[in-house]
Amino acid sequence: MGEPLPPAEWASLTRNERITLQRGAARVAGGTVDLVADDGSIFWVHLDNGVGRVAIHVDDDATVWRA
* pLDDT at residue 7, rounded to an integer: 95
How many angstroms separate the Cα of 17 from the Cα of each of 23, 25, 43? 18, 23, 12
Kindly list the averaged pLDDT for each block of 10 residues, start to end, along the chain of length 67.
93 98 92 97 97 95 94
How many angstroms separate the Cα of 12 from the Cα of each of 21, 24, 25, 26? 16, 22, 25, 24
* pLDDT at residue 26, rounded to an integer: 86
* pLDDT at residue 13, rounded to an integer: 98
Phi, psi of 7 (to 5 degrees): -55, -30
Q: What is the pTM for the complete model shown?
A: 0.91
